[in-house]
Structure 1
C-alpha cells in the first residue's frame, strides 16, 4: 500500500522541476501538498469511522480514489492542476491508511496491540522501502513510469482487500462534531498531545529525506535516480524489518524509554547526515533506520492507549494528520533553509543547515516534551 509513496522520490527533479520548469522550492512542494490534503481529511474521516463504523468501506473507496489520482498525475496538465490532483491523492491515501491502522488496533487485545501495530507498520514501511529503489529503476528512461506503476499497484491492493479484509462494525454515539472530535480526545487525556507532537516531528524529518535529501544527493554528489533509491532503501529496510520486534519489545518495557532513545539517536543521525562521505552514507542511513524503528511503534501504541475506545479511530487519524502536517512543513522548511543558507552556490552549507534544523528539532523534543510523559502513572509507560 505504501510502495507508491516513495516511487516518485528518486525522479523528483525530473518529474517536477524539469517537467514543469519550476523552482527548487516549488519542487519540494510536491511532497508537501498531498500531506496538506491529508491534514484536512484525516480528522474528518476518523470521526466518520467512529460514528458510522464502516471502516472497511471507507478504506476501499478512498484507496480506489488514491489510485485514480496517481494515474491522473501522468496527464499533461498545468502545474496548478497537477498539484491539485496531488492534494486529493494525499487526502485519499491518509484516509485509507488511518482506517487500516484503526482496524489493526482493534483486531487484537490491548496486551498484543504493540505487536499488531508493529506487524502492520512493518508491512507498510517495507512498501516504502521497496518503493524508492523500484522508482529509481522504473524512472531511468521515463519519470512518469513510477506514477503508472503506483496507480496499478494501488488498484491491485484494492482487488486483494475486497475478498480478504474483515472488520467489526464499531459504532459509537457522537460526543462532539467532526471538527472537535480530536480536541475532545485531547481534553479527555492531555498526554495524547505528546505522541501527536512526535508524529509531527518524525514525519517532519521524513519530509527532509524524501525531498531535501534527494535534491542534496543529485545536486552535490550527482547521484542517479537508482543510487538515490538505494540510499532511501538503506534507511527504510531496517526501519520496516525491525518495527515488529520493537513493537513486541514495547509490550514488555517502557514505551517512553524506547521513544526517548530512538528519537535521540534519530535526531543525532539526521543532524550529522551531510558530514558523511558518499561511501559512508549507506551505513549511516541504515543506522538511522534502526533508530527510527525503535521509536515508531511505541508512538502509535501510546496514541491508542491515551484515547478512549470510542475515539480511537479519531485519535489514530489525528496521529496521521499530525504526521502529515509535519510532512508538509518538512520539505518547505528544508527547501527554504537550504536555499537561504546555500547562497552564492554553496549548496553544501545550505543542506548542512537544513539537516541541522531537522535533527535538532527531534533532539529538542526528547529534552523538553518527553518529561511530561515520564510522570505518567500508567504501568509500562
Structure 2
C-alpha cells in the first residue's frame, strides 16, 4: 500500500515539473498564438509570471492544509485548478478571444494552483513511513525525470502546433486530480509556512548560505529555460523540436545526476562539491554564450548540467544537516522559496539583460552571479562547516 501511495505522490511531482518545462522550447510560438509578440520580453513575462505565483502561493497551500488537517483535497484542487487554467489558455488560442494580458493572468492562476499540488505531494512523501531516504528518493527521481523529459517532449509536441503542449498539460493534470482522489489522507506534519521559515532563519541564520547557493543554482536553470531557448533558436536557427533536445543536454544531467552526486557529498562532505561545482558552473555558463558552434554549445550545456547536479543536492543536504530535527520541513520550505525566487530571477534578469544588451552579456551576468555567490558566501560557509568533509547529520 505504501509503495502505491509513494508512486502516486511521485507522479504528482513528476507531472508538475514535466508540464512546467513542456512549454519552454517553443515559448515564442506559444506567446504569438496567445496574442503576444514573439520576443524575449514577452517570453520572460509568460514564464516569469508562473514562477511569481509559485513564490507567492507555496507557503499559502501549506498553511491552508495545516489548518484543515488534510492534504488530499488540496492536491486535487491544485491539479484541477491547473487543468482549468490550461484549458482556458487553449480556449484563448482556439477562439482568439482575449489578449496576451489575459494569457498572463491565466498563467499566474495556473502557477498558483499547480504549486499547491507539487509542494503538498512532497510533504505527503515526507509524512509516509517506510524510510525517509526511500521517500525522498522517489521525489528526487520524479523531479529529475520531469525536468529531463519536459523540454525534449515539449519540443516534439510543438511540431503539432502551440496548442499541443497546453492540451497535454491539461490532460496530465486532470489525470493527477483523478488519481490523487484515490489516495488516503494522513495526519499531516507542518508544511513549513512563511512564519516557520522566518523563525527557522532566526534560530539558524547560517541557513542563508545554502539558501544563497540554492538561489544561484535555480537562477541558472531559469536562465537556460528562457534565455537558452531564445539563444539557441536565434543563434543556430533551431526549431522547437531541436531546441528541446539541445536544452536536454543541460536539464538531463542536471536532474538525473543529483542522486549519485548527493551520495558523493555524504562521503566527501558538502563544501567541496558546492564550491568546486559553483565556480565551474559559473565559468561553464559564460562559455555557452561564446560557443562558436551548436556542437560546442551542446557540449558546454552538458558540462554545466553536470556541475549543476554537483551543487544542488549538496546544498539541499546542507539545509537538512543544519536544521533542527523538528524544523526541517520549514527549513526545506525556505530553500524551496529561495529556489523559486532564483528560477524567477533567472527568467526576469536574464531575459531583461538579453533583451537590452544581447545574449553574451546575459550569459556573463548569469555566470558571474554564480561565481559571485561563491566569493561572498565562501567565508561564511567555512565558518559554518569548519571541517570541509563534515556532513553533520548526513549519515542518519
Alignment TM-score > 0.5, same fold: yes
Q: CA deviation at 1:239?
A: 2.1
Cα pair 1:122 1:243 within 8 Å, conserved: no
Deviations 1:195-226 (A, max 9, x none): 22222222221121111111111122211111
Instruction: Name which of 58, 61, 64 aligns with 1:45.
Output: 61
- TM-score w.r.t. the length of structure 2 is 0.84
Partner of 1:374: 382
- Structure 2: 5+ residue runs without aligned partners? 1-14, 93-97
Cα pair 1:266 1:291 within 8 Å, conserved: yes
Range 277-286 or range 20-29, more displaced: 20-29
1:285-300 map, 5 Å: 285-300=301-316
SS of residue in 2 equivalent to 1:279 = helix
Q: CA deviation at 1:53?
A: 4.6
Distance 1:268 1:162 in 2: 46
- 2:369 maps to 1:361: yes
Partner of 1:84: 105
Deviations 1:126-163 (A, max 9, x none): 11221111111111131111010111112223334444
Instruction: Say which structure, 1 or 2, has more relative contact order (CA 8 Å, 6+ apart).
Output: 1
Q: CA deviation at 1:52?
A: 4.9
Partner of 1:319: 335
Q: CA deviation at 1:56?
A: 4.0
Distance 1:58 1:317, change over 3 A: farther
Distance 1:62 1:318, change over 3 A: farther
Give the alignment's Cα RMSD to 1 decimal. 2.6
Distance 1:255 1:4, change over 3 A: same
Partner of 2:174: 155
- 2:141 maps to 1:122: yes
Distance 1:204 1:268, change over 3 A: same
Partner of 1:278: 294
Partner of 2:7: none
Count of aligned residue pairs for this structure pair: 367
Distance 1:251 1:334 in 2: 33
1:49-88 map, 5 Å: 49=65, 52-76=68-92, 77-88=98-109
1:155-234 map, 5 Å: 155-163=174-182, 168-171=186-189, 180-234=195-249
Distance 2:254 2:194 in 1: 34
Q: CA deviation at 1:367?
A: 1.9
Q: CA deviation at 1:97?
A: 2.2
Instruction: Name which of 348, 359, 363 aligns with 1:351.
Output: 359
Distance 1:17 1:239 in 2: 30
Cα pair 2:250 2:301 within 8 Å, conserved: yes
Distance 2:321 2:73 in 1: 25
Deviations 1:251-288 (A, max 9, x none): 33312322222222221111111211112222222221
- Structure 1: 5+ residue runs without aligned partners? 342-349
Distance 2:34 2:186 in 1: 46
Distance 1:328 1:354, change over 3 A: same
Q: CA deviation at 1:119?
A: 4.3
Distance 2:104 2:57 in 1: 16
Cα pair 2:34 2:99 within 8 Å, conserved: no
Partner of 1:345: none
Distance 1:292 1:182 in 2: 25
- TM-score w.r.t. the length of structure 1 is 0.87
Partner of 1:268: 283
Q: CA deviation at 1:118?
A: 4.7
Instruction: Name which of 240, 255, 260 aligns with 2:255.
Output: 240
Distance 1:267 1:167 in 2: 43
Q: CA deviation at 1:64?
A: 2.6
Distance 1:253 1:68, change over 3 A: farther
SS of residue in 2 equivalent to 1:139 = helix
Partner of 1:346: none
Distance 1:160 1:291, change over 3 A: farther
Cα pair 1:237 1:289 within 8 Å, conserved: yes
Q: CA deviation at 1:50?
A: 5.1
Distance 1:106 1:255 in 2: 26
